[in-house]
Amino acid sequence: MKIRRRNFKKQSEAENFWPSFTDMISTIALVLFFLMLLAYIQNIISGKNLEFAERQVLDTQQRLEQANAEISQAEDNLRLIEDRLEEVKAEVEEGEIALQLSEEQIEEQREVIAESNRELGELRTRLESVAVLRLDVLERVKNSIEAELGSTTADGDPLVSIAENGNIVINEGLVFDYNSATVKADGAELLDQLASAFERVLDDRSTRNNIDAISIQGHTDDTGSPEYNRDLSTRRATSVVNHMMNANQNLERKYADYFAASGYSEFRPIATNRTAAGRAQNRRIEISIILKDDQVQDIIETYLEESMDVFD
């Protein structure tokens, strides 16, 4: 009984070995198949990933090249900006120098202008003194007449007055009748005093040296033709000069060359010719003191010479 049991056991073990080996081989083959399948799938996935990566790398390289190109362009632009900045700095420095020079020139011009204004003020003062001299002569003549005859007529009209232009004005009605060039008796006394006053004024050498001429001017209203009024105004002015010279022989002997007569007809009215009162004012004798042009010219030339010296 024991021997039989032993033999049965050995046979069973031999029979079970081959199925187990087959199963193991199948299992290994199946595992290898799955491994190969996984490797294949992995290769496919890896290939796609590699292709995608290569595309990314290529795209990255293109972007990098583009970025490098942009950087290079930016560097070029930066160099241009730096160059322009240097130019601007140079221009600013030149501008600062020019500005400094301009400020210095402006200051010099200010000094020149200030000096010119000072000299111009002196010129104005000197010219004003000449004008004052002219007015002073007329005032002295006027005061001399008024000291002898008074300042007004019996009707209250002024004997003589100083017009806005600085001339002595004598109302023609005091000296002449209407439309006449003959001196009236009442006007003769006025002209006599006028002749004496001018003699006293011209006896002053300093005053006389500044006078070029004493102009006796006749004026009319616009009644009648201009030709007739021109003749009438001239005859009246001449009558005034002739009367003064006849009344004062010393005046004619010493200073006749200073006096001149002229007629202005109706063309220099001082009032309207539409009214009787206005026309009466326009009929007048004016006496103007003409100062020597060379005196005024000397003042101006001296000023110009001094002004040019500033610019030299």
CATH number of the domain where residue 168 is located: 3.30.1330.60
101, part of any domain: no
Sign of the dihedral through C-alpha 251, 257, 263, 268: negative
Q: Is the pLDDT of residue 11 over 80?
A: no
Does residue 261 contact residue 238 with C-beta atoms inside 8 Å? yes
CA distance 136 to 96: 58
- Measured over all CA atoms, what is the biggest interatomic distance in the chain, rounded to whole angstroms? 210
Which tokens sit at 261? Answer: 């007569």
Q: Is the pLDDT of residue 233 over 60?
A: yes
239, part of any domain: yes
Number of independent structural domains in the chain: 1
- Of these ranges, 137-146, 148-157, 302-311, the one predicted with the greatest mean pLDDT is 137-146
60, part of any domain: no
148, part of any domain: yes
Q: Is the pLDDT of residue 241 over 90?
A: yes
245, part of any domain: yes
71, part of any domain: no
| DSSP 3-state of 211 | strand
What is the per-residue pLDDT across 76-123, written as a single tens digit (0 to 9) for each?
Answer: 888 888 888 888 888 888 878 877 877 777 877 777 777 767 766 665
pLDDT band at 311 (very low <50, low <70, confident <90, very high): very low
| Closest CA relative to residue 157, chosen from 196, 187, 191, 193 | 187
- Of these ranges, 94-98, 154-158, 218-222, 287-291, the one predicted with the greatest mean pLDDT is 218-222
Domain that holds residue 210: 123-299
Which tokens sit at 199? Answer: 């003699």
pLDDT band at 300 (very low <50, low <70, confident <90, very high): low
pLDDT band at 8 (very low <50, low <70, confident <90, very high): very low
211, part of any domain: yes
CA distance 162 to 168: 5
Does the pTM surpass 0.75? The reply is: no
CA distance 265 to 262: 9
pLDDT band at 231 (very low <50, low <70, confident <90, very high): very high
CA distance 111 to 122: 16
Tell me the percentage of the chain whose pLDDT exceeds 90.
32
Which region among 8-22, 240-254, 286-300 has the lowest average model confidence (pLDDT)? 8-22
142, part of any domain: yes
Torsion of CA 247, 250, 254, 260, to 10 degrees: -10
